[in-house]
Structure 1
Amino acid sequence: MGVQEHRKKLMPSIFLETLVVCVLFLEVSASIDGEFTFNGFQGANLSSDGVASVMPNGLLRLTNLTMHATGHAFHPTSLLFKNSQIGSVISFSTTFVFAIVPGYPLGGMGMAFVLSPSKNLSGATHSQYLGLFNPSNNGNLSNHIAAVELDTSFNPEFKDINDNHVGIDIDSLVSTESYYAGYFTNDGKFRNLTLMSGEPMQVWIDYDGKAMQLNVTLSPFKAPKPNHPILSSNINLSSVFFDRMYAGFSASTGTVQASHYILGWSFKLDGIAQPLDYSKLPHLPRSKSKRRPRGMAIWIPILVLVFFLVTAAIVLFVVRRKNKFAEILEDWELEYGTHRFSYRDLYRATHGFKDSGLLGVGGFGRVYKGVLRTSNTEVAVKRVSHESKQGVREFVAEITSIGQLRHRSLVQLLGYCRRKGELLLVYEFMPNGSLDKLLFDQKKSILDWAQRLRIINGVALGLLYLHEECEQVIVHRDIKASNVLLDDELNGKLGDFGLARLYDHGSDPRSTIAVGTMGYLAPELTKRGKVTTSTDVFAFGAFLLEVACGRRPIEPRASKEETVLVDWVMKNWRRGAILGVVDWRLQGRYVVEEVELVLKLGLLCSHPSPAARPSMRNVIQILDGVLPMPELVVDQ
């Protein structure tokens, strides 16, 4: 009996220990297996912090419209990424569908897929640090973090290529590899995707542990996975990864905001991640209309007419008011609806386009300052005639295409309104106006040399973006100081795309009528009428000279020798006295080597032969000192 009683006492203890071992075995097996699929995150056991949360419909929102915020969401258990005995990283594969919905009118910093030894990234910073690192640990090899960033802001300190790119980050936000956001078609053509479009997109990230190759592929939502990745990099992750790592996501906002969403996520170690079931993914929230409700505007007059028999005078007043704000809206414009403002809102924003708000008058219209009541955003509203020879529909399509461009050196086109015989273009407001007013209309120089050089570099980067980094080649055709606008920190941005022309990379641009401003027109334009990136470079050369010399390219009141700026600078260069043309208001307070470089580069860009002019990429390399200044050779 003693033995049997002892066995009875031991049985519950043995059963409990066995149960614990089984549970631990199941947990370890699930982690080792390393496979999971979330078609939406309803009921998912995620580890999240910051402003990250799962919405009622199963949508994972990493950030909302809170400024200076971060959000993280990780798979709750660590995964066995590395065999410590062998030392090599196990192959892995993941795919997820994401969407970045900007705040109005712009917003967001970007997001990243993250592999980290810890789920706790509370020490990371918001804004351009994407919630991954902070100024003190960025670039520190002790981070042991690998990430694929979907970056929507341009940060030169991290050597970003633009404000719409994908990058591979190893312990640092200076990407080891990066490329423009988009995908390659099966015939090898690149198609651009705007990360901050508010539309869902899919990412595939595949790592081959044996070949030590990391591939990143991007595509539109529900499109098949492209055959060619946009990033393919040979990386040995064995020195980066611990044996066990956590997989998840990170996002951040700064002074501008965006909502970063994950709709679905699939992951697998040592195999291919399961495809997502698109039919089960949650829907993004519908954007709220920015237009004011018009129901009351319709029903109140009707009720007044029914109950009070409004007189003919009031009816006439209503009709006149309606005509006052009448707009043209055709069916084909619906696809551009997100870029269209109501005339009523613009009329109120500018106080009826009063002269007191007039910012400037040009050959293509008058520009007014306005404040949008719905967002308290300052804007510049340009009124131009839409009697375009290319047709109104093509013109609207073109300006909305330009409105999709995002670069820190371009004045952002926010939208348009079409009414009767005019178009109204809405731009971001630039508080310091146009560059020509600070260069030519001041007896005493307001801009020092360092500020001028920064403006030159900014415009050059903007032109490089237009010529080489957009889905189509964009030739501005009207580069000059009056079309360079200055923000509150006196950074230069290229604006006024009224004459811009678009054509496909590698194609032959069509001939057109030579338009632009005298002194900036390349000589081949008047002969063949063919606009190319080289004609923009010619105008940029004239712009370099006017910034350095503080005068316009053609000065009728000057002496005969000094009338044409390019000729005058050329004569002084041949005499060995090129510094004699520098703006006298600088009073010698400049770096001689920098001024000489800008003047010689201006002459090279304005060379009469298109073949002798550099590309904008070479211009930037010369300004940065990466390329030496070519020898300047011009016929006598």
Structure 2
Amino acid sequence: MASPSSSPRAPTSPPPSPSSSWALSMPLIMEFGDIDNNHVGIDINSLNSVKSNTAGFYSDSRGDGMLTNMSLIGSGPIQVWVEYHGESTQINVTLAPLGVTKPVRPLLSTTYDLSPVLTDQAYLGFSSSTGLSTGHHYVLGWSFGMNTPAPFIDTTKLPGLPYLGPTPQSKLLEIVLPIASALFVLVVGILGVIMVRRHIRYKEVREDWEVEYGPHRFSYKDLFHATKGFKDRNLIGVGGFGRVYKGVLPTSKSEVAVKRVSYDSKQGIKEFVAEVVSIGYLQHRNIVQLLGYCRRKGELLLVYDYMANGSLDNHLYGQEGNATLGWGQRFRIIKEIAMGLLYLHEEWEKVVLHRDVKASNVLLDKQMNGRLGDFGLARLYDHGTDPQTTHVVGTVGYLAPELVLRGKATTLTDVFAFGIFILEVTCGQRPIKEDPQGNQLVLVDWVLQNWHKGSLLDVVDANLQGSYATSEVCLALKLGLLCSHPFPEARPSTRQAMQYLDGDMPLPELLPAHFSFHMLALMKNEGQVDSSTMLPYPSPMMTSFGSISDFSIHGR
């Protein structure tokens, strides 16, 4: 019978053996007459060994050397050769560490006839036992030969033993893991700070009553991103009531102008927002569309359609770097603003008081059409009723005398500002300015003085270089003076002013003497002074406004 050869790797296991009829025993405990707990034995149909010997091998080439002991537990992979010769009935068992050439002398050798033991059909296999203890046994490779030597096993191709101990900790992992954990905590902290700052940055003021205005309310986040964070490079205008930024809405990609207005009181803000939303329904080709609003603490943002060519005053005073507006363009813009005012005063479902008509609030679209914008100070009321405004708001130079005295705005106070606007556009001069000596020069005074002297055309903007229609210029100047008359009852209505401009109705015959009033005469009508103090008009009325500055939005 040929010998089976195996290479088990088992720190705690015995070598494999043919089973069923006989066994190769490597017990780990001293039972059944075992010589020690580290031996190799030949067991035949019994747990008691026929022959046994302490585990080891003879390393000398001739086989007559000393036994080198081996530990069956934890010594690494072990090779076992089991040989049986049928004629001589000799059983040889040889042991050696893996990689060592098979020793000449076997560890165990005995004679035993296995013929009665082995049946006609037998099974060859491996088994192991550790008694009360536990262990892992692995057969990494084995070979068997019948009537011939067992084939050679190339130990270099045997698989490695699986690792059963605790997972080894990589030095790299020991360094990286604490750093990664610290970085994770740091990142979470930074993200938390960012989220808090983001919440604060985009925090808005929202109250229950604003629910009904939902479609007209913009989120601050959208406006912030639309204007690139309200950066100065997106700044397109600065006025007494706020700063205006160009933006592109992230969803619709439409261009808008966003005006930031500061307020320091909640008083009246509900009514104001209601008016802003109502004004959002205005639809007219000469009105800049107010799209909606957004509220933050101490700040109100108004969102308008973007006007590509900016404000009229920048073109009048050469700040846009464009060619001076020709008279035809100026006269058309005057008419367009008159049409816009007529729509506000008479043609919409309510009366809208703009309260801040001036060149800087007239915006020009891509086709250079004039549109009245900036409704931040606008008020509205029902037709046939008196307006309830009792606070002075507006811009110095455009304020009607009765507005300063009584603080009550009407459509005629808008007409007064429109008259100043006509003079400003025609003359290319601001309503009030200072001469090199520091004296205030009032535009109305200057126009009146030249009219008295018979040199009315001398006030026309020199940049026009005489290229204008004299009749239209005279009409504009006289209508401007008539609309800015100190007495409100002497001013035309917005509809009448439109008819004068269109030529549908002739301008009343006016003489400079018709404007020789004094502010005190107006005050007399208010019951404040005696008529005996009346003096000739012009400049005292206007220069008396010198102490008035731009009013903020909360002074409503």
TM-score class normalised by the smaller sequence: 0.5 to 0.7
Task: Measure the CA separation in 1 of the matches of 2:260 and 2:389.
Answer: 28
Q: 1:578 to 1:444 in 2, by over 3 A?
A: farther
Amino acid corresponding to residue 340 of structure 1 in structure 2: R
Q: What is the correspondence of 1:257-272 to structure 2 with a 5 Å cutoff?
A: none
Quote the residue 1:439 is aligned against. Answer: 316
Does 1:546 find its partner at 2:427? no
What code does the residue aligned with 1:551 have? Q
Paired letter, 2:469: V
Task: Write the letter of the residue equivalent to 1:355.
Answer: D
Q: Residue 351 of structure 2 contacts residue 380 of structure 2 at CA under 8 Å; is this kept in 1?
A: yes
SS in structure 2 opposite 1:320?
Answer: helix
Match of 1:420 in 2: 297
Distance 2:317 2:429 in 1: 6
Q: Cα offset for 1:571?
A: 1.5
| Cross-structure match for 1:229 | none
- Distance across 2 between alignment mates of 1:610 and 1:364: 27
Once the two structures are TM-superposed, the CA of residue 440 in structure 1 deviates from its matched residue by: 1.7
| 1:512 aligned counterpart, secondary structure | coil
**Greater RCO structure (CA 8 Å; 6+ sep):** 1
Q: CA deviation at 1:367?
A: 0.8
Which residue number corresponds to residue 405 of structure 2?
527
Name 2:282's counterpart in structure 1: 405
1:506-517 alignment runs, 5 A limit: 506-517=384-395
Q: 1:347 to 1:621 in 2, by over 3 A?
A: same
Q: How many residues align?
A: 330
Shift of 1:317: 2.5
SS at match of 2:304: strand
SS in 1 for 2:433: coil
By how many angstroms is 1:342 displaced? 1.1
Match of 2:227 among 350, 358, 380: 350
The yes-or-no answer on 1:385 pairing with 2:262 is yes
Displacement of 1:567 in angstroms is 1.1
Which residue is equivalent to 1:635?
A: 516
- Alignment partner, residue 579 of structure 1: 457
The equivalent residue for 1:610 is: 488
1:276-291 to 2 correspondences below 5 Å: none
Q: Which amino acid in 2 is paired with 1:635?
A: S
Give the Cα–Cα distance (whole angstroms) in 1 for the partners of residues 188 and 221 of structure 2.
Answer: 25
- Whole-Å separation in 1 of the counterparts to 2:469 and 2:438: 30
Once the two structures are TM-superposed, the CA of residue 329 in structure 1 deviates from its matched residue by 1.9
1:445·1:585 contact (CA, 8 Å) conserved in 2? no
Aligned residue for 1:497?
375
Name the aligned partner's letter for residue 367 of structure 1.
Answer: V
Aligned match for 1:476, one of 324, 343, 354: 354
Q: Which residue of 2 aligns with 1:596?
A: 474
Cα distance per residue 1:117-142 (max 9 Å; x no partner): xxxxxxxxxxxxxxxxxxxxxxxxxx
Displaced runs of 4 or more, over 6 A: 307-310, 558-562
Change (3 A) 1:389 1:328: closer
Tell me which of 414, 433, 437 is aligned to 1:555.
Answer: 433
TM-score by length of 2: 0.57
Provide the C-alpha distance between the structure 1 equivalents of 2:251 and 2:266, rounded to a whole number of angstroms: 35
> 2:196 — aligned with what?
319
Q: Distance in 1 between matches of 2:459 and 2:230?
A: 41
More strand, by proportion: 1
Offset of residue 328 of structure 1: 2.0
Report how far residue 339 of structure 1 moved: 0.8
User: For each residue in 1:539-559, what CA deviation from the matched residue of structure 2 results, as whole angstroms up to 9, or x when unmatched?
Assistant: 100000010000101121268
User: Which residue identity lines up with residue 455 of structure 1 in the other structure?
Assistant: I
Task: Give the partner amino acid of 1:481.
Answer: A
Task: Assess if the C-alpha contact under 8 Å between 1:562 and 1:568 holds in 2.
Answer: no
Q: 1:327 to 1:314 in 2, by over 3 A?
A: same
- In 1, distance between residues paired with 2:190 and 2:322? 58
Shift of 1:309: 12
Q: Which of 185, 198, 213 is the matching residue for 1:336? A: 213
Is the aligned partner of 1:457 residue 2:328? no
In 2, the alpha carbon distance for the partners of 1:580 and 1:412 equals 37
The answer to whether the aligner puts 1:518 opposite 2:396 as a matched pair is yes
Displacement of 1:365 after TM fit? 1.2
CA contact (8 A) 1:511 1:528 kept: no
**Which amino acid is the alignment partner of residue 478 of structure 2?**
K
Contact 1:433 1:486 in 2 (8 A): yes
Contact 1:386 1:392 in 2 (8 A): no
* Map of 2:119 onto structure 1: none
Structure 1 CA distance, aligned partners of 2:438 and 2:297?
47
Deviations 1:567-600 (A, max 9, x none): 1111211222110100001001111100010001
What SS is found at the alignment partner of 2:258? strand
Q: CA deviation at 1:308?
A: 10
CA distance in 2: counterparts of 1:310 and 1:597, whole angstroms: 71
Contact 1:366-1:383 at 8 Å conserved across structures? yes
**Structure 1 position 388, deviation (Å):** 4.8
Change (3 A) 1:310 1:554: closer
The alignment's C-alpha RMSD in Å is 2.2
Query: Using the alignment, how far apart are the partners of 2:316 and 2:402 within structure 1?
Result: 29
Give the Å deviation of 1:389.
Answer: 6.3
Kindly name which structure, 1 or 2, has the bigger radius of gyration based on alpha carbons: 2
Give the drift of 1:322: 2.1
Per the TM alignment, residue 416 of structure 1 is displaced from its structure 2 partner at its CA by: 1.2
Unaligned runs of 5+ in 1: 1-306
Q: Distance in 2 between matches of 1:613 and 1:522?
A: 11
| 1: CA distance, partners of 2:209 / 2:414 | 32
Q: Return the TM-score normalized by structure 1.
A: 0.50
